[in-house]
Amino acid sequence: MGVGILVEHLNAWYGTTHTLQDINLHIPANHATALIGPSGCGKSTFVRCLNRMHETNPIARATGTVKMGDIDIYNDASPVEIRRRVGMVFQRPNPFPTMSIYDNVVSGLKLNGFRNRKILDETVERSLKSAALWEEVKDDLKKKSGASLSGGQQQRMCIARAIAVDPEVLLMDEPASALDPVSTSKIEDLIFQLKSQYTIVIVTHNMQQAARVAENTGFFLNGKMVEFDSTHKIFTNPSDKRTEDYITGRFG
């Protein structure tokens, strides 16, 4: 089951650039939350702070509190532990090219030393079924490389890979932006189903997508969170003038 995320006074820098400025936000458990905003506004940096991927860049740093359930992720746990509990799906599908489809899906388990064949088999089937990919690949699981699939299939495989480790939170950084409309709608259906089990945070440039999949939406601009509310309210009656300008297409 997913956990809620409480973000307090989160600041992030790349070198001297202040990319995130005092973000305060409560992301409810088992819901999908969309983050929208123009390019470079800090949405991606924000989700990368939620699984401490931000700090893998040597010039990056972050301050503030991020609580996932009872755990303060910056003080109570190591980045590696956090990333095991917070799955991430990236903008471009990034399968491991040397691994089969099977090994790609259970790579999170195998690379952490888990070897029980029976459980691995079950995990592959369960994860690929959750990611709506099982029927398409079940005959080639160990024969084909993960990189041999189409872009949309690769991205669903990456989602299967992320949920195979049974995370509590799933971060998606523009998961459909490199995909065609058919694959995009498959991914969206998937998000719709997955949010009953995971807390989902999805960054998107596509406002219809935010409207379709998310209960709550946050609008980011220039490193600040301008507005956070129910998706319905953001798209029909935003409180802030800048939000209204953005969603009506006056800029961005």
Partner 1 sequence: MSAQPNLPDLTPPVSSPARPPMNFGTRAMRVHFGYRKATNLLVGGLAILATVIVIAPLVAILIYLIYKGASSLNVAFFTRPPAPVGEQGGGMANSIFGSGVILTLASLMGIPVGIAAGVYLAEYGRGKLLGNAIRFTADVLNGVPSIVMGIAVYSLIVMQQKHFSAFAGGVALAIMMVPTVTRTTEEMLATVPHSIREAALGLGVPKWRTTISVALKTASPGIITGCMLAFARVAGETAPLLFTAFGNQFWSFKLNEPIGALPLQIYVYAISPYDEWHRLAWAGSLVLIVLIMVSVTLVRIFASRGVLKGGS
How many other CB atoms are there within 10 angstroms of residue 31's CB atom?
17
Residue closer to partner 1 (CB basis): 19 or 154: 154
Interface segment toward partner 1; rule CB under 8 A; list 36-44, 76-84, 114-122, 198-206 = 76-84
Binder among 17, 24, 63, 98 for partner 1 (CB under 8 A): 98
Question: Residue 117 CB, nearest distance to partner 1 (Å)?
Answer: 18
Does residue 54 belong to the site contacting partner 1 (CB under 8 A)?
no
Does residue 172 belong to the site contacting partner 1 (CB under 8 A)?
no
- Cα distance between residue 112 and residue 109, in whole Å: 5
Q: Which two tokens stand for residue 41?
A: 């506004």
- Cα distance between residue 9 and residue 24, in whole Å: 6
Residue closer to partner 1 (CB basis): 200 or 226: 200
What is the identity of the amino acid at 197?
Answer: Q
Decide: 74 and 62 in contact? Cβ < 8 Å: yes
Segment 203 to 232, residues that bind partner 1, using CB under 8 A = 208
Q: By CB under 8 A, how many residues form the interface with partner 1? A: 37
Does residue 11 belong to the site contacting partner 1 (CB under 8 A)?
no
Helix 151-164 and helix 181-194: axis angle, to 10°? 20
Measured in residues, the chain has a length of 252
Interface segment toward partner 1; rule CB under 8 A; list 1-9, 33-41, 63-71, 83-91 = 83-91
Interface segment toward partner 1; rule CB under 8 A; list 26-34, 104-112, 222-230, 232-240 = 104-112
Residue closer to partner 1 (CB basis): 26 or 111: 111
Does residue 51 belong to the site contacting partner 1 (CB under 8 A)?
yes
Helix 117-130 and helix 151-164: axis angle, to 10°? 130
Alpha helices by DSSP H, listed for 199-248, are 207-213, 231-236, 241-247
Decide: 153 and 104 in contact? Cβ < 8 Å: no
- Cα distance between residue 6 and residue 228, in whole Å: 13
Does residue 126 belong to the site contacting partner 1 (CB under 8 A)?
no
Does residue 94 belong to the site contacting partner 1 (CB under 8 A)?
yes
Q: What are the residues binding partner 1 (CB under 8 A)?
A: 51, 53, 56, 80-85, 87-88, 90, 92, 94-100, 107-108, 111-112, 143-145, 147-149, 158, 161-162, 165, 181, 185, 208
